[in-house]
Amino acid sequence: MFKLGLTGSIGMGKSTTAGMFAEEGCAVWDADAAVHRLYDVDGAAVIPLGAAFPEAVRGAAISREVLKRIIGNDPGALKIIESIVHPLVGEDRADFLAKTTADIVVLDIPLLFETGGQKRMDATVCVYVDDDTQRDRVLARGTMTPAQFEAIKAKQMPAAEKCGLADYVIETDTIEHAREQVQDVVRTIRETLKNA
């Protein structure tokens, strides 16, 4: 099994690109989706997070909005949350890897390089698009203000730096171009696996 770490900054087209890898027969694990499962009703993070932050529990699930407020009021809270959630995300990923039979597994991890996760991968791929397109995409969603977008972007490793660290870069300027690049990456990896 070949582990391919997929990353990219907000608005770069990571989710769309992950879907293209799935279309090529790769198994895809999504870190954000794992967190949603952990926070949902009966999720593994509900009891430990609820013990640390009882006000974050809403209807037997964890409210991300309440957690954001808690972190905003107490920057130290983030470390506590991460100490609870990161090991659970790791368990979710390990379960997924144990169950999959795919030759290539794409692990969609937004903070792959920031957390040193690339060390656990066989290769990494970073999605990329120019700054103006990135900004337009994010603001078109209507879920955040320009100031919120800039604040998130400031916390992420610069896109050029991520691209410099990645084994493959996929430019997501158009769907067709991105798909061609995904197919090239999959073909290259499968050739490598065949010759191993």
Range of the domain at 82: 32-101
Shared domain for 117 and 193, answered yes or no, is yes
Statement: residue 164 has pLDDT above 80? yes
pLDDT computed for residue 143 by the predictor: 87
Q: Are residues 192 and 108 in the same domain?
A: yes
Asked if residue 149 lies in contact with residue 10, where contact means CB atoms within 8 angstroms, the answer is yes
Residue corresponding to tokens 């791929």: 125
In the predicted structure, residue 155 carries a pLDDT above the cut 90? no
Q: Check whether residue 117 and residue 22 sit in a common domain.
A: yes
* Domain end among 52, 80, 101: 101
Task: Looking at the structure, tell me whether residues 123 and 161 fall in a common domain.
Answer: yes
Burial 169-186, CB ≥16 within 10 A → b, else e: bbebeeeeebbebbeebb
Confidence of residue 83 (pLDDT cuts 50, 70, 90): very high
Claim to verify: residue 134 and residue 182 sit in the same structural domain:
yes
Let me know whether 115 and 93 are in one domain. Answer: no
Whether residue 40 has pLDDT greater than 90: yes
Residues 82 and 10 in one domain: no
Domain boundary among 101, 130, 158: 101
67 has pLDDT over 90: yes
Per-residue pLDDT band for 153 (boundaries 50, 70, 90) equals: confident
| Whether residues 111 and 187 fall in one domain | yes
DSSP H or E stretch at residue 136: helix 131-140
* Predicted confidence (pLDDT) at residue 154 exceeds the cutoff of 90: no
In contact, 52 and 84? CB cutoff 8 Å:
yes
Residue whose entry in the numeric block shows the structure tokens 């090529």 = 24
Domain end call among 74, 101, 128: 101
Q: State the Cα–Cα distance between residues 12 and 131, nearest whole angstrom.
A: 9
pTM over 0.75: yes
For residues 129 and 92, state if they share a domain. no
- Average pLDDT in the chain: 94
What pLDDT is recorded for position 148? 87
**What CATH code is carried by the domain that includes residue 70?**
3.40.50.300
Please state whether 142 falls in left (phi above 0), alpha (psi between -120 and 50) or beta.
left
Residues ≥6 apart with Cβ < 8 Å to 41: 59, 60, 61
> In sequence order, what DSSP letters do the residues of 73-123 get, joined into one string?
H-TTHHHHHHHHHHHHHHHHHHHHHHH---SEEEEE-TTTTTTTGGGG-SE
pLDDT in tens, 3-31: 999 999 889 999 999 999 999 999 999 99
Count: domains in the chain: 2
- Reading across the β-sheet that carries 123-128, which strands appear in turn? 27-30, 104-108, 2-7, 123-128, 168-171
